[in-house]
Amino acid sequence: MTQTAAIIGGGVIGGGWLARFLLNGWNVNLFDPDPEAERKIAAVLENARHALPMLYDVALPAEGTLTVCTTIEQAVSGVDWVQESVPERLDLKHKVFADIVAHAPADAVIGSSTSGFKPSELQQGLDRPDAVVVTHPFNPVYLLPLIELVPSPANPVSVIERAKEILTSLGMFPLHVRREIDAHIADRFLEAVWREGLWLIKDGIATTQEIDDAIRYGFGLRWAQMGLFETYRIAGGEEGMAHFIAQFGPCLQWPWTKLMDVPELTDELIAQIADQSDAQSGHLSIRQLERLRDNNLIAMLRALKGEDAAAGALINAHEATIRPALPGAIDGAMTTIERVIPTDWTDYNGHMNESRYGQVFSDAADIVMQTVGADADYIAAGLSYFTVDIQIKFLAETHAGARVNVQSYVLVGEGKKMRLFHQMFGEDGTLMATGEQMLIHVSLETRRACDPRADVLAKLEAIAAAHSALPDPRGV
């Protein structure tokens, strides 16, 4: 049954949560007293609909239904998850949580997006403190997987486990913060960096642009894939982490950071930062900056997905749970691909680059292979199919964000040979490209042609026989 989430507070963070749930097939109830809320949500949702489906090489589930509610009671009734993202004031949060726990089902997880408050602070005075945990996300919530999941001693293990399970099913990474502290983990780092940044600007050492360059051309690239300690482990070399600390530990005593003081946020300092930021990025609207950021994140996350590393490994794990079953019936064309075209597949002509049609057909051939039993285990055992030629006809342009599907036919399936024909269609049924592809079965040890395993060949022959009864899809 479709699950339902209640989103209480629909700013940039609440909107990001809403998009995560909705695009993963959940129904969503929204409560936000702000008269601008629906407009704000629509903007976040537009970004998310553009971006999130591009992380995956399969289609996401059908979107759930969004219901705008006028009371918290209405929003939280009967739901499986409640996510609070109201402004960062403890008195306000207490009031909202009292209303939520009074009306939400007993088994609903109630998460707070708070950046700074500890769960025990949020739970004070509530009837059901055990249902409320911190689930702190990072902007853009629809693309970044990290969620700091912070329970207090009042939360039973069952709530923590249920929260982990649901967050993982949304493609997120629940980082279980085992001891609650102010600002959890990540924001302590962000705060330390923010403070240093303010000092550098106040002291006239660097501008916002120079600080951003110092981050994105250097350690930012390291941290996007390995973090701090694994990076330093490498720096320590074969002698290891203890060696690294012995070598660099003394720096902590050097005057390398503005440890002892906090810069005062005078009007002058605020104006200085705002002016520098305008000079750096003022030629772009926030909407344009969001789109640039999201396209960069999509491209980098897809790059990490290709390596099955860091956040890319999370996407692959999530994708495995939403991948459709292999084609069952073989008496007609097999639907081998259903997916969205990501931004990084387009070229200077503004459309999908021709080589990516080849990638879609290559992926389609993988599904045919899996369907006949030539799957990951089969390949690990040293057998596979290699493509020896392909002819692609490009019939219509396609663009980033387009949803396409591929229908595949087995033209020949005998001995070492597998000849496939793929048709790529747009959502409206337009035929966009065809690919006729010849594959040969090989031993991965000798890299030479060899016969397939008997059961694989039998399945392939059965499909080829069924498809030979169909009109020739090539139309010749």
Contacts to a copy of itself from residues 344-373, by CB under 8 A: 344, 347-350, 353-359, 361-362
Q: Does 283 bind a copy of itself (CB under 8 A)?
A: no
> Which residue among 46, 278, 414, 451 contacts a copy of itself (CB under 8 A)?
278
Cross-strand partners of 352: 346
Nearest approach, Cβ of residue 189 and a copy of itself (Å):
5
Site for a copy of itself in 396-415 (CB under 8 A): 397
Site for a copy of itself in 425-454 (CB under 8 A): 444, 447
Complex with a copy of itself: residue 102 or 193, whichever CB lies closer: 193
Site for a copy of itself in 213-232 (CB under 8 A): 213-231
3-state secondary structure of 438: strand
Quote the tokens at residue 402: 């387009």
Backbone angles phi, psi at 467, to 5 degrees: -75, -25
Complex with a copy of itself: residue 238 or 331, whichever CB lies closer: 238
Compute the distance between CA of residue 341 and CA of residue 338 in angstroms, rounded to an integer.
10
Complex with a copy of itself: residue 330 or 379, whichever CB lies closer: 379
Nearest approach, Cβ of residue 210 and a copy of itself (Å):
6
Compute the distance between CA of residue 81 and CA of residue 59 in angstroms, rounded to an integer.
24
Task: Select from 18-26, 123-131, 253-261, 317-325 the region that touches a copy of itself (CB under 8 A).
Answer: 253-261
Nearest approach, Cβ of residue 101 and a copy of itself (Å):
26
Nearest approach, Cβ of residue 431 and a copy of itself (Å):
14
Cross-strand partners of 134: 112, 150
> Which residue among 29, 113, 336, 384 contacts a copy of itself (CB under 8 A)?
384
Site for a copy of itself in 295-354 (CB under 8 A): 295-297, 299-304, 306-307, 309-311, 314, 343-344, 347-350, 353-354
Site for a copy of itself in 194-213 (CB under 8 A): 194-198, 200, 203-206, 208-213
Residue 208: partners with Cβ closer than 8 Å, 6 or more residues away: 201, 273, 276, 277, 280
Complex with a copy of itself: residue 162 or 243, whichever CB lies closer: 243
H/E run at residue 360: helix 354-371
Going by their DSSP bridges, the two strands 27-31 and 66-69 should be labelled as parallel
Going by their DSSP bridges, the two strands 132-136 and 109-112 should be labelled as parallel
Compute the distance between CA of residue 128 and CA of residue 105 in angstroms, rounded to an integer.
11
Nearest approach, Cβ of residue 408 and a copy of itself (Å):
15
CA-based nearest residue to 20, from 112, 141, 113, 164:
141
Amino acid at 8: I
* Helix, strand, coil content of the chain in percent (nearest 5): 45, 20, 35
Quote the tokens at residue 327: 């084609």
Site for a copy of itself in 107-126 (CB under 8 A): 115-116
Q: Does 187 bind a copy of itself (CB under 8 A)?
A: yes
> Which residue among 1, 91, 238, 476 contacts a copy of itself (CB under 8 A)?
238
Compute the distance between CA of residue 28 and CA of residue 89 in angstroms, rounded to an integer.
25
Compute the distance between CA of residue 276 and CA of residue 278 in angstroms, rounded to an integer.
5
Nearest approach, Cβ of residue 351 and a copy of itself (Å):
8
Amino acid at 250: P
Q: How many residues bind a copy of itself (CB under 8 A)?
A: 145
Complex with a copy of itself: residue 162 or 195, whichever CB lies closer: 195
